[in-house]
A and B are shown apart, each in its own frame.
Chain A
């Protein structure tokens, strides 16, 4: 069966520090991968998605970047964190046309 792993679960970082969040999927090949940010009362905002290794689509201009160095690995990064980067970050995957997305447990990031 397929599983998705995100780590760390919780992260506290100072303003201006770098960020690296990792997501890996097991049990499937060539998944579509997604990074979302969730802010209270604002639903989920799609940040990036990827349909293959090295293929990244950015949905909103921001202080973040994403990379997909391997088929089932998706990384969210920042060179210098801002206070506004705080939030709950969710990784998800789908196959084919992406009708159903399956989510990881999320990373709660606090930038202080």
Chain B
């Protein structure tokens, strides 16, 4: 079955350090890919999306993600973590040929930023 995997349910970084959150998809055809962020007790907010244009996608709050077909990955990065980045991050995919309405979400990665 097609799926999306987020490696690491919890990532902890120091303020100012590089943030790297991993996401891998399983599909022979590149899907549309998304990263969402969820702050405590809130809904999800879109950070960025990849829809087969540029492989390096820039999002809000200084985040970016690179689509790598050879690695079936779409990892999320930020050069320098800020305390306000502490949240849960979800990778999501929409597969070509699948339902036009469904996104499949990963299980999420909780990012902790230490002072």
Residues of A within 8 A of B (CB): 4, 6, 32, 34, 41-44, 46, 49, 51, 57, 90, 92, 94, 97-106, 108
Contact = CB atoms under 8 A, between A and B. Distances in A.
Contacts of B101: 32, 34, 49, 51, 57, 94, 97-98
Interface of B: 9, 32, 34, 36, 41-46, 49, 51, 90, 94, 100-103, 105-108
24 contacts: A34-B101, A41-B9, A41-B107, A42-B107, A43-B90, A43-B106, A44-B44, A44-B90, A46-B103, A49-B101, A49-B102, A57-B101, A90-B44, A92-B44, A94-B101, A97-B100, A99-B51, A102-B46, A103-B36, A103-B43, A104-B43, A105-B42, A105-B43, A106-B43
B105 to A, nearest CB: 4
B interface SS class: loop
A98 B107 contact: no
A108 to B, nearest CB: 7
A interface SS class: strand
A9 to B, nearest CB: 8
Given A43-B105, A51-B101, A99 B94 contact: yes
Q: Which of A49, A57, A97, A101 has the most CB of B within 10 A?
A: A101
